[in-house]
């Protein structure tokens, strides 16, 4: 099964949306393989957002992402990256469709509630950035047979 990184940003933490968002992922059938709260620092953010460091808005990204602790999660499932990205919606909350996490909880391009890995390659790199190997668990819930047919899981 595929693994992906999700970050519940300060905008989710400060607004008390953690339970709602985690619940949506679980209700969809995604498996939490790792989860922790942490305070991001400038060094880690410069590495994570290296493609944005030279952009004029990068100081806003830093301030936003360091405003409070975040929750990082490793979610696992069949096509997990695509499923999570469909669930999160367009990056700009004003453009995200209703029913998506950003569409329901965000009206901002910056304060957009969640980060989700965009590809298998990015997920592998990002998961290593935020988790030590022993913090990600390879386990299968007993109810997996009620989430996937035998030929999918």
In angstroms, the CA 112 to CA 86 distance is 14
Do residues 3 and 76 touch, judged by C-beta distance below 8 A? yes
Could you tell me the domains of the chain? Answer: 2-146 (3.30.70.141)
What percent of the chain is predicted at pLDDT more than 90?
93
Query: Is 48 an annotated catalytic residue?
Result: no
- Minimal CA–CA distance to 111: which of 94, 98, 99, 87? 94
pTM equals 0.95
Q: What is the mean pLDDT of residues 97-124?
A: 97
| Per annotation, catalytic residue among 9, 48, 102, 115 | 115
pLDDT tens, position by position, 4-57:
999 999 999 999 999 999 999 999 999 999 999 999 999 999 999 999 999 999
């Amino acid at each position: 099964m595929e693994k992906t990184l999700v970050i519940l940003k300060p905008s989710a933490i400060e607004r008390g949306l953690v339970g709602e968002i985690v619940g949506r992922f679980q209700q969809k059938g995604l498996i939490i393989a790792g989860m922790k709260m942490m305070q991001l620092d400038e060094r880690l953010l410069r590495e994570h957002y290296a493609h944005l460091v030279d952009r004029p808005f990068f100081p806003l990204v830093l301030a936003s992402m360091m405003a409070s602790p975040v929750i990082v999660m490793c979610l696992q499932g069949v096509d997990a990256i695509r499923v999570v990205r469909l669930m999160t919606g367009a990056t700009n909350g004003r453009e995200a469709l209703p029913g998506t996490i950003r569409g329901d909880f965000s009206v901002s391009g910056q304060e957009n509630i969640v980060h989700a890995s965009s590809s298998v390659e990015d997920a592998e790199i990002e998961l290593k950035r935020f988790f030590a190997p022993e913090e990600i668990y390879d386990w299968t819930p007993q109810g997996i047979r009620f989430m996937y047919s035998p030929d999918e899981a």
